[in-house]
Amino acid sequence: MTLTTATPTAPALQLPPATELKSEILRLKREKDAVLLAHYYQDSEIQDLADHLGDSLQLAQAAKKATQKVICFCGVHFMAETAKILNPDKTVIVPDMNAGCSLADACPPEQLAAWKAKHPEYKVVAYINCSAGVKALCDIICTSSNAERVVRSFPAETPILFVPDRNLGGYLMKKLNRPMKLWQGTCIVHETFSERKIVDLKVAHPEAEFIAHPECEPTVLRHADFIGSTSALLGYVAKSPKQAFIVGTETGILHQMKKAAPSKTFIAGPFEGEEKCACNQCPHMKLNTLEKLWLCLKTLKPTLEMSPELIEKARIPLERMLALG
Ligand code: 13P
Ligand code: SF4
């Protein structure tokens, strides 16, 4: 199989034989002085090659600590941007630069700027699943791991605009008993879980606990026995005395759940519609493949480029979050 680089004029490169692909990736990683960061929603074979595997917060923390010259980010665009903001002098590459995010797409910076202008007295808390342009406009970033702590860091009387995830925002409002104005973005994966089918599964598996990511709709979250970020869900299944779990998040996490608790049973959360639909897989995350990973390490492309001005503005709210822990 041949793959072309991002430059149309560059010669096609010959992929190593399938049996050597993984060892070649590991060799290139050393040769190019690259660290490989991967999110839990990546394909299992990419997860197994990563130097650091984690949720959005853990990966941002790993990026900040990176000592290598190159950061190869197996995740989506906003995650790689975060790594670049924290490491302006490093080369940041992504196997497929088209790996976007419906939440980031839902909140264009110009629209947020207009909303902010209408509410000048409000502080803006942005979920990390947003573009650098949005980060540059907000007061602080949060992830699903630290969102409660971040919102609590503002005095109760401080009014907050929460962007771009209305489901995480709504979950926080309820949990913290705190009103916020919410941007109406959603994750295309988590919004598709079916309440009716989750209830059917719970009836069919009364021994199982239903665990869910806070990006799910409130109609689904109300049936959850535990709600948390990907790393919190992973920690929960490892510690819980229960033996079976219905998992309401992207299926990539099941790989680590099975490793952490090999004797337990994991049932992927279901959707309405076609039996064979793969709606519980993020189409953006799954754009990254082993072949593209090899190619991007080989060529150090595609490279993520950002203006120094944007990096500087977006760095401030990110550093505020990292300082909170
Ligand atoms: P976390 O891994 O931070 O929970 O985020 C989930 C997600 O949807 C990432 O895009
Ligand atoms: Fe974005 Fe949802 Fe994919 Fe995460 S799973 S990258 S929130 S579209």
pLDDT, averaged across the chain: 95
Task: Out of 284, 286, 287, give the residue to mutate to test ligand 2, the one with the largest number of ligand atoms within 8 Å of its CB.
Answer: 284
**Distance between CA atoms of 182 and 124, rounded to whole angstroms?**
10
| CA 229 to ligand 1: nearest atom | 4
Same domain? 263 vs 206: yes
The predicted model gives 57-64 an average pLDDT of: 96
Same domain? 24 vs 57: yes
The angle at the Cα of 66, spanning 74 to 150, to the nearest 5 degrees, equals 80
| CA 55 to ligand 1: nearest atom | 2
Q: pLDDT grade, residue 279 (50/70/90)? A: confident
Same domain? 112 vs 59: no
pLDDT in tens, 233-250: 999 999 999 999 999 999
84 assigned to some structural domain: yes
**Beta bridge mates, 211:** 226, 247
For residue 107, the enclosing domain spans: 103-186
Same domain? 175 vs 208: no
297 assigned to some structural domain: yes
HSE-up of residue 113 (Cα within 13 Å, Cβ side):
7
**pLDDT at residue 272 above 90?**
no
Give pLDDT, residue 97: 98
* pTM confidence score: 0.94
pLDDT in tens, 115-135: 999 999 999 999 999 999 999
Give the whole-number percent of the chain exceeding pLDDT 90.
91
Q: pLDDT grade, residue 13 (50/70/90)? A: confident
Give pLDDT, residue 8: 53
Residue ID of nearest Cα to ligand 1 atom 9: 56
Report whether 50 contacts 74 (CB < 8 A). Answer: yes
Residue ID of nearest Cα to ligand 1 atom 1: 55
Same domain? 19 vs 70: yes
Q: What is the distance in A from the centroid of ligand 2 to the CA of 40?
A: 11
Q: pLDDT grade, residue 325 (50/70/90)? A: confident
Q: What is the distance in A from the centroid of ligand 2 to the CA of 101?
A: 5
Q: pLDDT grade, residue 5 (50/70/90)? A: very low
Same domain? 35 vs 14: yes
**Beta bridge mates, 163:** 126
Residue ID of nearest Cα to ligand 2 atom 6: 101
318 assigned to some structural domain: no
Give pLDDT, residue 131: 98
325 assigned to some structural domain: no
Q: pLDDT grade, residue 271 (50/70/90)? A: confident
Chosen domain end from 186, 214, 233: 186
312 assigned to some structural domain: no
Q: What is the distance in A from the centroid of ligand 1 to the CA of 39?
A: 8
Same domain? 10 vs 47: yes
| CA 128 to ligand 1: nearest atom | 3
The predicted model gives 300-314 an average pLDDT of: 98
**pLDDT at residue 231 above 80?**
yes
**Distance between CA atoms of 252 and 261, rounded to whole angstroms?**
15
pLDDT in tens, 74-100: 999 999 999 999 999 999 999 999 999
313 assigned to some structural domain: no
| Count: domains in the chain | 3
How, if at all, do strands 2-3 and 226-227 pair? unpaired
Pocket of ligand 2 (CB under 6 A): 41, 76, 101-103, 129, 187-189, 215, 250, 282, 284-285
Same domain? 151 vs 226: no
Same domain? 176 vs 158: yes
Same domain? 80 vs 64: yes
pLDDT in tens, 192-210: 998 999 999 999 999 999 9
78 assigned to some structural domain: yes
Q: What is the distance in A from the centroid of ligand 2 to the CA of 3?
A: 27
Same domain? 91 vs 140: no
166: domain CATH number?
3.40.50.10800
Both tokens of residue 169? 């925002």
31 assigned to some structural domain: yes
Same domain? 84 vs 139: no
Chosen domain end from 165, 186, 207: 186
Q: pLDDT grade, residue 163 (50/70/90)? A: very high
